[in-house]
Amino acid sequence: DAGVIQSPRHEVTEMGQEVTLRCKPISGHDYLFWYRQTMMRGLELLIYFNNNVPIDDSGMPEDRFSAKMPNASFSTLKIQPSEPRDSAVYFCASSPQGALGGELFFGEGSRLTVL
Amino acid sequence: SQQGEEDPQALSIQEGENATMNCSYKTSINNLQWYRQNSGRGLVHLILIRSNEREKHSGRLRVTLDTSKKSSSLLITASRAADTASYFCASDMVDYKLSFGAGTTVTVRA
């Protein structure tokens, strides 16, 4: 398996623009997680899905952020409109059992810079 | 908010030496995991220790867990340059969520 695939790897955009980050989880994994990593706040869980259904989005910072999982092999994280403070590395991770059952498999991340 | 806190924040050692880092967490857990992150890359799972385990080994890694103190330690023996990375502990929270600490940055000097 190719692992968790994220795109784009790098995105530079201007404040106010819409940003869409994409993730393809490992086939057969029922759980998908979106994390954000910054120097100041470390790794923050934004939202996670189980069987394509959003279970907990309490970590989504505000209404400008939205995430979808239309099918088992694809998820998006959208920021509209983007702001400079959204600059971070966004990670997608998938897991066959969720955190209680075992490890998370991370993608390489999408580094977002909002100017 | 972060569940775990690592100590020290940074560690610099000579190749061949051992590296030890500690993690403290706040609430009861089912398991605790350690991950490694190389610069510019995603996190890679190293080892998982369950709440009813006290010690676990995997190759050059040794993890301990003390649930009474809500703490864990990761020992890397005979370090190599390739061990240079950031190391994170992660503890499970309710509802299948995993909360990560701030990480320990380890530099192994050749």
Q: Tell me the C-alpha distance between B102 and B52, whole Å.
A: 25
**In the prediction, which pLDDT does A44 show?**
93
Of the listed ranges A14-18, B20-24, B25-29, B70-74, the one predicted with least confidence: B25-29
- Span of A24-28, A66-70, A98-102, B60-64 with lowest mean pLDDT: A98-102
Whether A98 and chain B come into contact, CB under 8 Å, resolves to yes
Interchain CB distance below 8 Å, A42 and B102: yes
pLDDT (tens digit per residue) in B62-107 = 999 999 999 999 999 999 999 999 999 998 866 667 889 899 999 9
pLDDT tens digits, residue range B47-62?
Answer: 999 999 999 999 999 9
Token pair of B104 as six digits: 């320990």
Contact A93 B43 (CB under 8 A): yes
The answer, yes or no, to whether residue B1 has pLDDT greater than 60, is: no
How confident is the model over A8-18, as a mean pLDDT?
A: 98
Tell me the C-alpha to C-alpha distance, in Å, between residue B79 and each of A3, A89, B15, B82, B108.
27, 28, 5, 8, 7
pLDDT digits (tens, 9 = 90+) for A40-57: 999 999 999 999 999 999
- Exposed, middle or buried, B66 (CB in 10 Å: 0-12/13-18/19+)? exposed
CB A94 within 8 A of CB A109: no
